Structure 1
Amino acid sequence: MSNAGNCIAIGLLLAGGAVIASAEQTIRFEGTAESLETGATVYTEHHVQTGECRDGFWEPSNHEVTYRSPEGDIIADKTIDYGDAPARPSFTLEDKRFGERMQVSNPEDEHVRIQYRSSSGEETSYRVQAPDNGVIDAGFEVMVRQNWQTLVADGKTVQIGFLAPTRGKFYAFKAEPAEKEALEGKHVFRISVAGWVSSWFVDPIHLAFNEQRQLTDFHGLTNILRTPEDNFRAHIHYDHDSAPGCH
């Protein structure tokens, strides 16, 4: 079984309070993934995201990603629906080369439904209850923005539960401020195991954000297949044309 879908995604919901929202916007940005082994570009990401500013930070509602080979061919695509719990979105990721498909549905933010088809054609499904501090896929961006004060100003650790879709289980992880010279963003965070976990994931993931709270770097295991059995380990550099203008 491959590690697809095991790419780190983290998040934590804010406590209650007044919500100040603005009109919906659409933003676009791109990412270039460079292999941690060779340094060569292995694929590019092309993002289209809709959302709005809430309480001074960007909160996405829908997200489409197209993954292309260095030659420009589409190798995978992904759709994300952030729903009522942006840290635990529903998503579908389909690999065009090896036939792998992951679908995670979280409509009521209670029981997460997972349908997975591996590159070998084997199909599995799970139904798991989402914990209050649970995180699914790209919810890590939402988590960082919502916990900016804790992570950046206070320099503290945030405990989260990360969904490993191919295993149908949330695992204990932690997000904390860190340093990593290779990353370009001003604010760097390390996502690592908070306790014992099986060998499917050992190395931490590093993320970096700029002052506008936009993701500038991802460093570690990705959710894109390198072979039918293994995923790329890469440094992804993100290029944003503009910020959504949240204040």
Structure 2
Amino acid sequence: MWKTLISSVVGSLLLFPAFQALAEDSEYEIIGAAYHAEDIEQLLYEERYTPIDENGKGEVHYVDPDGERIAEKSLDYSYGDSRPSFELRDLREDLHWSARWTDDEERIRLARGSVDAPDTETVDAKSRQVIDAGFDPFIQSQWDRLMDGERVTFHFAFPNRLTNVRLRAERIDAEDSPIQKQEEDWVYFRIRVNSAVLSLFADNLYLAYDPEDTRLMVFRGRSNIPDADGEGRDVEIHYRYP
């Protein structure tokens, strides 16, 4: 269970030419090309981020190599950059995952499964609360501490397991990261469960950032989009900023 839990968190120069052209013709702020973790020439899908509007809302469109949209996600950053509410829908199946704040913003309602009859749980929000794509703004907000070698802990709300788990982020050397596409000047981080016992059963997440503008360049871990059979899969996502 915990191996799936930690791995379900949340542009590449290796994009297939036709797929790259399709993405460049559209109006997206960020494009992530998701490759099979063990074969980064095997493109699985793209995640395409629309710009955030004046109300703090944006969308992510997930598109397969044939150009078909397979999932979509709505994000609401009005609750804070690192703790957006969200809903992710798999357009191939009757499945969705969501995290929504209560009116007092002290608790988070988590849901997974069928849109009409989901499994739900409400969890208490923590002082360093992170939700979904908010992990990237959180890393940026803790940049100086991480660069100084500190280990930074936070809580991450997981609709996949209907729980709010404590994680730890830390800077690591490039040679300690399994990310296949690396650049010499990038900075590398690892995210793991902040528990010696649970970490034995959990996969880590790995990130690569460009220190010049603190942009996320690569994410490696379990995808939040299952394959066509509904099975989880590990990916390496390469981001670019058109």
TM-score normalised by structure 2 residue count: 0.79
Q: Where does residue 70 of structure 2 map in the other structure?
A: 75
Q: If each structure's strand is expressed as a fraction of its own residues, which one has the higher value?
A: 1
2:92 to 93, 97, 106: 97
Query: Secondary structure in 2 aligned to 1:167?
Result: coil
Deviation of 1:51 after TM superposition, in Å, equals: 6.8
Q: Give the number of equivalent residue pairs.
A: 214
Q: Where does residue 207 of structure 2 map in the other structure?
A: 207
Query: Secondary structure in 1 aligned to 2:198?
Result: coil
Q: Where does residue 30 of structure 1 map in the other structure?
A: 31
Query: Secondary structure in 1 aligned to 2:78?
Result: coil
TM-score normalised by structure 1 residue count: 0.77
Q: Where does residue 180 of structure 2 map in the other structure?
A: 182
Deviations 1:83-135 (A, max 9, x none): 2332121001000112211121125431101222259x862111111111221
Query: Secondary structure in 1 aligned to 2:79?
Result: coil
Q: Where does residue 217 of structure 1 map in the other structure?
A: 218
Deviation of 1:166 after TM superposition, in Å, equals: 2.7
**Aligned sequence identity (%):** 29
Q: Where does residue 158 of structure 1 map in the other structure?
A: 152
Q: Where does residue 51 of structure 2 map in the other structure?
A: 49
Q: Residues 83 and 132 of structure 2 are in contact (CA less than 8 Å); yes or no, is this contact kept in structure 1? A: yes
Q: Where does residue 85 of structure 1 map in the other structure?
A: 80
Moved more, 180-189 or 209-218: 180-189
- For 2:220 and 2:191, locate their aligned partners in 1 and report how far apart those are by CA, in whole Å: 10
- For 1:61 and 1:27, locate their aligned partners in 2 and report how far apart those are by CA, in whole Å: 16
Deviation of 1:218 after TM superposition, in Å, equals: 0.5
Question: What is the identity, as a one-letter code, of the residue corresponding to 1:111?
Answer: R
